Chains A and B, each alone.
Chain A
Amino acid sequence: MADATSLPQAPLPPRRSPLDAVWVAGDYGAAAVGGPGVTMLRRSGLSSVQLDARRGTAASLRAAVAGALGLALPGPGRAASGGEVRALWLGPDRWMLLAEDTFALEAKLRAAAEPAGGVVVDQSHGRTILRLSGPAVREVLAKGTGVDLHPRAFAEDAVAQTGLFHLAVTLDRRRGTGTFDVHGMRGFAQSLFESLCEAAAEFGYRLSE
């Protein structure tokens, strides 16, 4: 039975965010000299597709993904970017792949990965992704997670699945100084957002459009 996701019949409505009711762009918290300590941005309009390798297929799957997307699936605790796609290691034989919605990632993955033993599960709507940057970003995150975020321990392209303010998240350290993508579960998005805002208030924070 073909899944209808790949066969849209009419123009889709815009995607809603679980933070629509609370996200008002602007500067909040303490007024900080030299700008806000943390800037938060919603990474909307992304496809997040989970890719699993079935038993014994990891090697063939890597090859298939490399061939189709130009991306080398990363090893434990790491992320990798290739072309328009970023891949995060989530666990043994499990990755999360991300791309702009326009890229039709799920369809491409199904075509390339399923024959090679991949199991494709769309999670685009189940995850809320916030991008945090700024001089105080490590301190803000350290209030909620026990992961060592120092560059010596958590360098660029490091990934951790951990707890942040008692919520399950995936942390992805992006390139550039102090930029982190925080992937949280949709249902807990508002709790996560409120905790981040309170933790960031002493440094001043900006909610970007």
Chain B
Amino acid sequence: MTGSDQSHRLPTGGAIDRRRPLAFRFDGREYRGYAGDTLASALLANGVRVVGRSFKYHRPRGVLTAGPEEPNALVELRGGARIEPNTRATMVELFHGLEATSQNRWPSLRFDALEVNDLLSRFLVAGFYYKTFMGFPGWHFWEQRIRAAAGMGRGTTEPDPDGYETMNAHCDVLVVGGGPAGLAAALAAGRTGARVMLLEETDGLGGRLRSDRETLNGTPAMRWAEAAAFELVDLPEVTVLTRTTGFGIYDGNVVGAVERVADHLPVPPAHMVRQRLWHIRPRRVIVAAGAIERPLVFGGNDRPGVMQAGAVRTYLNRYAVAPGRQAVVVANNDDGYRTALDLAAAGIHVAQVVDTRSAGRGEWWRRAVDAGLDVVDRAAVTNAYGRMGLVGCDVTRLDGNGGTAGNGRFVPCDLIASSGGWTPSIHLHSHAGGKAEWDDAIAAFVPGPGRAGVTTIGAAAGRFALSDCLADGFRVGAEAARDCGFGSGTAPDAPVADEASVAPLQAIWSVPGTPGRKVKRFVDHQDDVTVEDIELAHREGFVSVEHLKRYTTLGMGTDQGKTSNTAGHALMAGLRGRPIPAVGTTTFRPPYTPVAMGAFAGRAAGRHLAPIRRTALHDWHAANGVVFVEAGPWLRPQYYLRPGETNSREAMDRAITEEVVATRTRVGISDVSSLGKIDVQGPDAAEFLNRVYCNGFARLPVGKARYGLMLREDGLVDDDGTTSRLADTHFLMTTTTVHAAEVLADLEWYLQVVWPELDVRVSSVTEQWAGMALAGPRARDVLAAALDPGTADVSNEALPFLGVTTTATVRGVPVRIFRISFSGELGYEVNAPADWGIDVWEALMHAGEPHGIRPYGLEAMGIMRIEKGHVAGAELDGRTTPDDLGLGRMASTAKWYVGRGMLGKPAYTDPDRPKLVGLVPVDGRTRIRAGAILVADPDAPTPIPKLGHVTSSAYLSPTVGHPISLALLARGRERIGEEVWAVFPTRSQRIRARVTEPCFVDPEGEKLHG
């Protein structure tokens, strides 16, 4: 543990830029690395051995891998609002000023109070927490303590300061993975002119070629990869995305990918997102995702300094880092020899090469022996020592029957490079529904039959040799392009790999412990699952791989068992005495590696959470003291403050009251542009509307409007609105704001599917027209004054209630005028083409000035319609019949229409059904909340029979001088004059209320017709 100043940096080599040193901090201490380092390689270069504590036992852990599968080196990256927990140090590109903190330790990495869990481990077996605490009262209390102890790093509650976005892409051939197989595939496809995308998870192309010393035709294979990268850049229809993980395949072979645009920078520069989520729709997918090395399972295999053999080569060759000074290499395959030779070539002392096989003496063995390495076979590392960093291990002969032969020999070392073979990354194949097949030769699952259009090649298909990877890539790339109509499908010639033959791997899923020593053998490092945990699960009957996973948490960490699942499942198969393929493997699901939620949210956050819909009069409201309220996507005026007034409860109450009073006594104007407007034209338009509405429309005269009620097919009320006949074959329908799109879709469906014989076309014209409701005793005076002289007569005689005129203009703007009212006052709805909406609104305001006109918002509108007993959304709740709402007489008996067939259902004619009534508090002042439950006796024994509920409330009706409500009450019409209780249990409210007629103002409608 020599500490700082890159004590473990090799003097030469590596793909780092030694001219660009970078300072960074880990756990508060400053270190230096080079551009091209990862956080893991830079920590190793500085001799940092312990980088985290394990999940359950809090054992000190070091870097295990050099890739996305890392289970140990999880750190909190950055700080403040940008803090990112559980970041894999092996995937973090070093940048100047990087700050990282170890996690899951308290108070410090060197001393962790919860390391006591390691000593208590014989009690903390799989399922311990549930077995122990679930029976206790207060499980949730213990659950929180346990979760805190298992700390997964800290997040932040601050808003993310960085941006994310989504990108859509299409291509002929998508290649996932930029190693030799993927490069070859992209080249072969790209040269044909096909549109090709290549995704590479790391910062550069080459894959394992960046980590190994292989050659092609006698030159370093990495030269070939560099040339391939250059060629791809020059192909105009090829897109190469580095720092991009293809994390999932979805329906239709849509591939999800996340591009880490700015994760390698301290802070994203202006206008640059941090991450970008790609939705890629390729015609062919080639998965060249490579393979992941498995650690051998032996005693102490989690000690800091035990590392995967392939990772050791990566640190040596790519980063010029010596992960140790004195190495032991142990493997069940030729990777051990390859690694030992690389270590020796880098000048690191290889104390012992251990081969667990009895038949591993092939070409690689020969090379190792020729290089003078001390090789022992049919032996294994049986225990490793060194709590805060490896100090040595026992090497013991194996008896060939799962046991040891003789005593262990202690070998001092600070690095163990271990390889248990490689597991193909078949995740994407599996996402696409592909099967996994067991391959004995490599002791791993390989892709079996899969979905059309998805082909897995190279190491991801279990073909590890460089020559196989290149051959696969060139062949499958050319074929995929041909399938898309490009090229002949003939594979280009592949360069010749200079390869030694490989001696077969010999599976060994766990190594026995050193005789006489108690050992902990970790299968899953991230979740602290040991061989003993798997044995326990087997004894307790959790023998299927899915139960094993949930019982022991095997493979449930953020690494999703990338290094551990194969061994864990194989051990269970051994315990059950069944072949591995019969025991199977768990199902892979996206994402392949963790993806930040921000990337999925993209720009749909903050003010872009949902689009905002503004009326044509929006800018006028905004300049005139409006307080907006959201109504679905719409922003609508809620009420208007006085100039310079600050919003408050009092200001709101006063504004609303003034708006109601002005409209009831003088004149008011409101923005009704959001109401749905549907243009209905065609020779059968009248017949169509007559079938859609429950009341008659066939004989509506031209130039007249009528209130219409629309039912669903089940007979319940769907929507209401006013529909006008503009010409013999031309109607304008209006709908409620919320149901506009749904009603249009229903109309299209009736026309296309139900009554195709009707010759009618319907179109939404909601956006074309700005709508203004002018209401109040002086409405006619204001309207007449605003019209361009001589364009229309709006006298009561020329334009009576429900009259329509389309000849008028205001300031030259053609308008449609409908004499209709929602407030119960003399009212007109004026529609103007939207781009002139403000001009017409201003003309009306100007004409209304002498009459004291006031704009009014939704609150005042709501109060006035409750005063009139008009139903709206709260009453049209999808559970009410026309009769429930007091509109039963509208339902025609002289014709058929949608929903009529169901109206006679006994449930709909039940006299006990709730009916629309009015409700006033007996004390004349207590406000009754909408949603309150109506009961006869709130003190009756529970369950208290419910008589109905309050649908809408006006906390103060300025017109009648006290609060009023509308309610649906069982046998309501018979109860008028009686008293009921309105209770609101969650607010502990109970209010005595008198049942009234639902109309509180001008029940005869004199104002309307005046």
Chain A interface residues toward B at CB < 8 A? 1-5, 7-13, 15-18, 20-21, 29-30, 50, 52, 54-55, 119, 121-127, 139, 142-148, 150, 152-153, 165-167, 185-192, 194-195, 198-199, 201-202
Contact A126 to B809, CB < 8 A, known contacts A150-B170, A166-B604, A190-B612: no
Q: How close is A148's CB to chain B, nearest CB, in angstroms?
A: 4
0/1 string, B255-275, CB within 8 A of A gives 1: 000000000000000111100
Docked CA distance A21–B614 (Å): 12
Contact A12 to B836, CB < 8 A, known contacts A21-B619, A54-B761, A194-B608: yes
Q: Which residues of B lie under 8 Å from residue A202 when comparing CB positions?
A: 271-273
Docked CA distance A1–B817 (Å): 13
In contact, A5 and B814 (Cβ under 8 angstroms): yes
Residue of B nearest to A117 (CB): B759
7 A-B pairs (CB sep. < 8 Å): A5-B814, A13-B839, A54-B761, A126-B834, A145-B168, A165-B603, A166-B610
Q: Which residues of A lie under 8 Å from residue B272 when comparing CB positions?
A: 202
Q: Which residues of A lie under 8 Å from residue B763 when comparing CB positions?
A: 50, 52, 121, 123
**Candidates A3, A125, A139; contact of B769 at CB < 8 Å:** A125
Docked CA distance A192–B603 (Å): 12
Docked CA distance A21–B621 (Å): 13
Contact A4 to B768, CB < 8 A, known contacts A30-B271, A143-B166, A202-B272: no
**Candidates A11, A121, A125, A188; contact of B679 at CB < 8 Å:** A121
In contact, B788 and A10 (Cβ under 8 angstroms): yes
Interface: B167 (CB within 8 A): yes
Q: Which residues of B lie under 8 Å from residue A121 when comparing CB positions?
A: 679, 681, 763, 765
Q: Give the residue among A20, A30, A186 with the most B Cβ atoms within 10 A.
A: A186
Docked CA distance A55–B763 (Å): 15
In contact, A119 and B682 (Cβ under 8 angstroms): yes
In contact, B682 and A18 (Cβ under 8 angstroms): no
Residue of B nearest to A11 (CB): B812
**Candidates B168, B727, B791, B815; contact of A143 at CB < 8 Å:** B168
**Candidates A125, A142, A199; contact of B768 at CB < 8 Å:** A125
Interface: B550 (CB within 8 A): no
In contact, B768 and A123 (Cβ under 8 angstroms): yes
In contact, A125 and B834 (Cβ under 8 angstroms): yes
Q: Which residues of B lie under 8 Å from residue A8 when comparing CB positions?
A: 809, 812, 814
Q: How close is A200's CB to chain B, nearest CB, in angstroms?
A: 9
Contact A3 to B726, CB < 8 A, known contacts A12-B813, A125-B769, A186-B834: yes
Interface: B971 (CB within 8 A): no
Docked CA distance A16–B703 (Å): 29
Interface: B616 (CB within 8 A): yes
Residue of A nearest to B195 (CB): A150
Interface: B214 (CB within 8 A): no
Docked CA distance A202–B622 (Å): 31
In contact, B170 and A153 (Cβ under 8 angstroms): yes
In contact, A126 and B765 (Cβ under 8 angstroms): yes
Interface: B1009 (CB within 8 A): no
Residue of B nearest to A20 (CB): B619
In contact, B759 and A55 (Cβ under 8 angstroms): yes
Q: Which residues of A lie under 8 Å from residue B813 when comparing CB positions?
A: 12-13
Residue of A nearest to B727 (CB): A1
In contact, B836 and A201 (Cβ under 8 angstroms): no
**Candidates A125, A145, A153; contact of B767 at CB < 8 Å:** A125
In contact, A187 and B788 (Cβ under 8 angstroms): no
**Candidates B270, B618, B812; contact of A13 at CB < 8 Å:** B812
Q: Give the residue among B271, B679, B816, B835 with the most A Cβ atoms within 10 A.
A: B835
Interface: B615 (CB within 8 A): yes
Interface: B833 (CB within 8 A): yes
In contact, A124 and B768 (Cβ under 8 angstroms): yes
Q: What 11 new A-B contacts, CB under 8 Å, besides A13-B839, A167-B611?
A: A1-B806, A7-B814, A121-B681, A122-B833, A125-B834, A143-B167, A144-B166, A186-B834, A188-B614, A191-B608, A195-B608
Interface: B149 (CB within 8 A): no
Q: Which residues of A lie under 8 Å from residue B615 when comparing CB positions?
A: 187
Interface: B634 (CB within 8 A): yes
Q: Which residues of B lie under 8 Å from residue A143 when comparing CB positions?
A: 165-168, 603
Q: How close is B772's CB to chain A, nearest CB, in angstroms?
A: 15
Docked CA distance A16–B836 (Å): 6
Q: Which residues of B lie under 8 Å from residue A122 when comparing CB positions?
A: 768, 833
Q: Which residues of A lie under 8 Å from residue B726 when comparing CB positions?
A: 1, 3
> Which 9 residue pairs across A and B have the least CB separation, nearest first?
A126-B767, A10-B812, A15-B835, A4-B814, A126-B768, A125-B834, A148-B170, A191-B611, A187-B613
In contact, A4 and B809 (Cβ under 8 angstroms): yes
Interface: B18 (CB within 8 A): no
Residue of A nearest to B787 (CB): A9
Residue of B nearest to A152 (CB): B195
In contact, A148 and B281 (Cβ under 8 angstroms): yes
Interface: B595 (CB within 8 A): no
Docked CA distance A189–B814 (Å): 24
Q: How close is A117's CB to chain B, nearest CB, in angstroms?
A: 9
Main secondary structure of the interface of A (DSSP, over half): loop
Interface: B665 (CB within 8 A): no
Docked CA distance A18–B767 (Å): 11
Docked CA distance A177–B227 (Å): 32
Interface: B307 (CB within 8 A): no
Docked CA distance A195–B609 (Å): 11
Q: Which of B150-188 contact A (CB under 8 A)?
A: 163, 165-170
Q: Which residues of A lie under 8 Å from residue B759 when comparing CB positions?
A: 54-55
Interface: B675 (CB within 8 A): no
Residue of A nearest to B622 (CB): A21
Docked CA distance A9–B195 (Å): 58
**Candidates B611, B616, B633; contact of A186 at CB < 8 Å:** B616
Q: How close is A22's CB to chain B, nearest CB, in angstroms?
A: 10
Residue of A nearest to B752 (CB): A92
Residue of A nearest to B165 (CB): A143
**Candidates A11, A16, A167; contact of B835 at CB < 8 Å:** A16
In contact, A12 and B812 (Cβ under 8 angstroms): yes
Interface: B846 (CB within 8 A): no
Q: Which residues of B lie under 8 Å from residue A142 when comparing CB positions?
A: 167-169
Q: How close is B839's CB to chain A, nearest CB, in angstroms?
A: 5
Q: Give the residue among A4, A30, A122 with the most B Cβ atoms within 10 A.
A: A4
Q: Which residues of A lie under 8 Å from residue B833 when comparing CB positions?
A: 5, 122, 124-125
Q: Which of B592-636 contact A (CB under 8 A)?
A: 603-604, 607-608, 610-616, 618-619, 622, 633-634
In contact, A123 and B702 (Cβ under 8 angstroms): no
In contact, A9 and B791 (Cβ under 8 angstroms): yes
Residue of A nearest to B613 (CB): A187
Contact A146 to B168, CB < 8 A, known contacts A21-B619, A30-B271, A186-B616: yes
Contact A125 to B812, CB < 8 A, known contacts A119-B682, A142-B169, A148-B281: no
Docked CA distance A5–B791 (Å): 12
In contact, B279 and A146 (Cβ under 8 angstroms): yes
Docked CA distance A201–B613 (Å): 23
Q: How close is B74's CB to chain A, nearest CB, in angstroms?
A: 31
Interface: B766 (CB within 8 A): yes
In contact, B281 and A1 (Cβ under 8 angstroms): no
Q: How close is B268's CB to chain A, nearest CB, in angstroms?
A: 10
Q: Which residues of A lie under 8 Å from residue B354 when comparing CB positions?
A: none
In contact, A52 and B611 (Cβ under 8 angstroms): no
Q: Which residues of B lie under 8 Å from residue A52 when comparing CB positions?
A: 681, 761, 763
**Candidates B166, B619, B767, B806; contact of A187 at CB < 8 Å:** B767
**Candidates A3, A18, A192; contact of B814 at CB < 8 Å:** A3
**Candidates B766, B790, B808; contact of A4 at CB < 8 Å:** B808
Q: Which residues of B lie under 8 Å from residue A145 when comparing CB positions?
A: 168
Q: Which residues of B lie under 8 Å from residue A124 when comparing CB positions?
A: 768, 833, 835
Docked CA distance A3–B835 (Å): 18
Q: Which residues of B lie under 8 Å from residue A9 when comparing CB positions?
A: 788, 790-791, 809, 812
Residue of A nearest to B607 (CB): A194
Interface: B811 (CB within 8 A): yes
Docked CA distance A148–B283 (Å): 12
Q: How close is B165's CB to chain A, nearest CB, in angstroms?
A: 6
Q: Which residues of A lie under 8 Å from residue B163 when comparing CB positions?
A: 198
Q: Give the residue among A13, A142, A145, A146 with the most B Cβ atoms within 10 A.
A: A13
